[in-house]
Structure 1
Amino acid sequence: MLQGVREVSVTFVSRSRPADLPYPWVESGSAEADEVLGRAGLVVVATFAGEPVVVDRQLRADATVLAVGAHTVDTRELHEDVLRGAQVIVEDVEAARREAGDVAIAVEKGALAWEDVATMAEVVRGDVALDPARRVVFKTVGMPWEDLAVARVIAGQVPAAFR
C-alpha cells in the first residue's frame, strides 16, 4: 500500500436493498448495521427521516458524522445524544436555527448549546480546531451559494477568489 493511502470500505445501510447496488448492504436496525456503524470512522446519513435513525451507542467516540438529509427544524436523522459532547459544524448558524432539526432539537433538549456550534467558515479559516479524539458532526441544510459555486466550477466559470 502507498504511504498515506488507507483502505476504504463502503457499506450501505437502509431499510430495503436498492437494485444494482455496487456496495455491500445491511438492513437498518439490525445487529449487523450496529456493528458496521460501530467500526466506521465516517458515517454519512442522507435520509428523509423525521425521527432519529442513528443513535450514540452505534457510533465510535471519534467518528465523523455527515448529516445531509432532514431539512426542517422539526425533523432529524440523529438522536440528540449523537451531538452531546461532539464538535458540531453547520454552514450558517441562522440557517441551522431555521432548518437543521438535528441541531435545533439537540439544543432544545439540552444536549448542545448554540454557542458551541461552529460554522464551516470558522473551521476552514482555522478559528476552530477539530479534535481528532472527539466526534465531529457536520449538519448541512444546503446553502444556495454552495450550489452556485459548484455550478460555476462545473461550467468552468471559477471566480478569481476561488482560484
Structure 2
Amino acid sequence: MESPGSVPARSLSYEGVWRFIAPAVEVSVPQARHAVRDLIRRQGVPVRDELLQGLLLIVSELVTNAVRHAALLSPELAVEVAIGADWIRVAVEDNHPYRPRALETDYAQTGGRGLLLVREITREAGGSCDVEQTTTGGKVIWVMLPLEAPDRWATSRWPNL
C-alpha cells in the first residue's frame, strides 16, 4: 500500500515476460540462445557481459537437456524469460515427467554435467535455480539471476557462445 502523497511505482521499460515455443530438436538450442540474447538487447536490459554470457550458457544447457532427454515424450519445449527491475529469470519447460538432478564430477564420463554447470554458474552469480512439476505432469527448470552480479565477476571471463 502506498503512503499518501507517494508516487506509484512504475515498471521499467525492459520489464516483462516473454515465452518461446520450439520443437525439441538440436537446432532449437542455438535458436533459443540467440532469441534470449536478442530479447535482452532489444529490451535494453542493463546486464553485464559476464552475466549475459553465463545466462546464455545456462539457456543452452537447459534446452540441450530438454532436446536430449525429453523429446521422446515432449516434442515441443518452451523457453520463458521474465525480467524484473533487478533480476532475470529463464525457464525451460517440457512435458517429460522425469525430474533431472545435477551429476557430480566423474572424469570417466564425457557428458552429463550440464546441470552441474548450470548450478555452479547460478551460485557464482548469486542466483537460485530449481526444478518444478507442471500441472500437466511435465517439468520446468528455472534459473533466477540478479542483474547486478557479485564483484568477483569483474575479473572472470566467459567464453563467447
Task: Compare the two structures and name the one with the higher strand fraction.
Answer: 2
The two structures have a TM-score, normalised by structure 1, of 0.25
Higher relative contact order (CA 8 A, sep 6+): 2
Q: State the TM-score, normalizing by the size of structure 2.
A: 0.25
